[in-house]
Amino acid sequence: MSTPTIFFDDEAAPLAPLTDTRASFDIRTGGFTTLGRLKRALDLNVIALFVPERLKAVTRQRYAVPVNDIPEGALGAVLLINGRCPLPLAQITELTRGQRLVEKSSGHTIASMVDSAGARRIVEGDNSGLDVREFDANVLLRRPWNVRTSRDAAIKVDLTLLHTIPGKAAGPGTFQLGGHPVIIDPSANVYPSVVLNAEAGGIYIGPNAVIRPGAILSGPCIVMENASVLEHAHIKGHTAIGPYCKVAGEVSGVVFQGHANKAHDGFLGDSWVGEWANLGAGTTNSNLLNTYSQVIAQAVPGGARERTGETFLGAIIGDHVKTAIGTRIMTGAVLHTGCMFAQTAAVAGTVGPFTWATDRGMQPFRFDKFMEIARTVMARRHIEPTDAYASLLAELHTEAVGA
């Protein structure tokens, strides 16, 4: 029987821009979001969600379960999982009632098995009276670049889950290499001359996905539903392309949240790309320092410069970020929600939300103009921003640049 489960966003780490418009469990940390992965891998019955108040309205629109409330009649043991835990740890399923699994280095809750009253106490910050079990490794996302840290393990789990789904054989004129599984949904369209290289890992191509002529997909990689890989693209290993994305050029080790465009040539490596981002033709990033040393990055403007633990780290690109043709993005850049780049100098460091960057400098992106563009872009996918979503963006804009 599926375990009654509550996911919660403890907002205990600076994960922006990943969590600007979504809860931590809704970040696409591989082929699936964290919630999607753990629900499938651990056979969970999600009965409620707890999120920061500012995200309550948009989260309610995404899910049919109570948000920030325990459902009536939720009796007995309930599994509580931190949305910052991207991997389905075996230790989570081993918890018994009254036990709490914590990350040893931070002391933060990974998961706990409690009654409904205990669940409410934990999401409100009261962890007293529980039997603590420590988890030695760092597993919780604590900075935006940790999506790179957990990426390979997450994609490995996702491919294991996806490869149980029946698929079809590659059509005539396609080339398949290697012995790892290749799953193509029956509704996907894989054109002749596509190369599916499964020598280093499996490949999954989801419902209504399109792989255009001349594209090369090298596993492990995942292309989710309604995504398009365009002509002559080279999708290298450890890449996960979320729903409704259009991707071209050379892409290596990138996770696309969904509804994003990289429809032209240019290299993008070891990066995370938010929803509604659009990378102009020739946009290219660096994912490795010339010194081959560990990348130092900054989560928020004015914040501390920190060692990331990563040698290969490209860019964290927030929702609605736009780049002009020929944009260059330096190693370890963090580009927050709503930035617009039209500058000849390389984009470097951390750029705050709703920044309009040109050769004349950086200035705030007017919200009315931002929303005009956002509505146009979203309409191309036949989506109209809801009032709750527009209000959330307005709130983010006010916090970032004022009225």
- Tens of pLDDT, residue by residue over 122-167, are 888 888 889 999 999 999 999 999 999 999 999 999 999 999 889 9
Q: Are 122 and 175 in the same domain? A: no
Specify the pLDDT at position 270. 98
Specify the pLDDT at position 199. 98
Q: Are 294 and 398 in the same domain? A: yes
Specify the pLDDT at position 291. 96
What confidence tens digit (pLDDT) does each residue in 264-323 have?
A: 999 999 999 999 999 999 999 999 999 999 999 999 999 999 999 999 999 999 999 999
Q: Are 134 and 147 in the same domain? A: no
> Looking at the domain assignment, is residue 76 inside a domain?
yes
What confidence tens digit (pLDDT) does each residue in 111-132 have?
A: 999 988 888 888 888 888 899 9
Q: Are 22 and 62 in the same domain? A: yes
CATH of the domain at 122: 3.90.550
- Crossing angle (nearest 10°) for helices 387-401 and 367-379: 140
Q: Are 43 and 9 in the same domain? A: yes
> Looking at the domain assignment, is residue 271 inside a domain?
no
Specify the pLDDT at position 260. 98
Q: Are 305 and 201 in the same domain? A: no
> Looking at the domain assignment, is residue 277 inside a domain?
no
Q: Sorting pLDDT into bands at 50, 70 and 90, what band is 77?
A: confident
Contacts 24+ apart (CB under 8 A), 365-371: 365/338, 365/339, 365/340, 365/397, 365/401, 367/393, 367/394, 367/397, 370/320, 370/338, 370/397
Number of domains in the chain: 3
Mean pLDDT of the 19-25 span: 98
Per-residue tokens: 233: 């693209």
- Beta pairing, strands 361-364 & 355-358: antiparallel
Per-residue tokens: 240: 């996960």
DSSP, collapsed to helix, strand or coil, labels residue 311 as: coil
> Looking at the domain assignment, is residue 158 inside a domain?
yes
For residue 176, the tally of other CB atoms under 10 A from its CB is: 14
Per-residue tokens: 176: 């398949």
Residue type, 156: K
Specify the pLDDT at position 276. 98
Q: Sorting pLDDT into bands at 50, 70 and 90, what band is 75?
A: low
Q: Are 326 and 378 in the same domain? A: yes
Mean pLDDT of the 66-81 span: 83
Domain limits for position 316? 287-403
β-bridge partners, 284: 328
Residue type, 398: T
Examine the fold and report which residue of 80, 108, 142 is the final residue of a domain before the chain moves on: 142
Q: Taking the chain, what is the end-to-end CA distance rounded to the nearest angstrom?
A: 51
What confidence tens digit (pLDDT) does each residue in 170-180 have?
A: 889 999 999 99
Under DSSP, the state recorded for 291 is T
Q: Are 212 and 311 in the same domain? A: no
Specify the pLDDT at position 122. 85
Distance CA 83, CA 85 (A): 5
> Looking at the domain assignment, is residue 269 inside a domain?
no
Q: Are 134 and 149 in the same domain? A: no
